Amino acid sequence: MNSKVVVVGKLKEKYLKQGIAEYAKRLNKFCKFKIIEVPDERAPENLSPAQMEQVKQVEGDRILAKIKEKEYVFALAIKGKELSSEEFAAEFEKLTTYGHSDLTFVIGGSLGLSSAVLKRADAQLSFGRFTMPHQLMRLVLTEQIYRAFMINAGSPYHK
């Protein structure tokens, strides 16, 4: 199984890099896991709605260039479906049972995801209505992917 996270922007914070690296190492026993960074689009502070859409479109094109047709794509979006860890694990199990061995998760930039990325997504996930830095979301998502594998393996990690 392959699992990847496509994200906008570079991760600078050492503590987040360390946490993600730890979960990525643990994930290697379950899947081939990788994180792909695409450049964020530089933009001034006070953007018009049209300029915001343009930034999302440019970042969206960069994201879509990293996704293959056969991949099952989860877009992280505030309006997405909220799942418990157990429901997320069950979704993983169901997808792999039905032949989806390439799972891709997408985290947009500070303005969110373009409509083209949301349209390409097979599912939209939400981690709640809290606003989180997208860099922190990488760590949270990576841990939840690991947790899903551990739940499906019957491990006590989840308890």
Binding residues for S-adenosyl-L-methionine: 76, 108
Binding residues: 76, 108
Residue type, 21: A
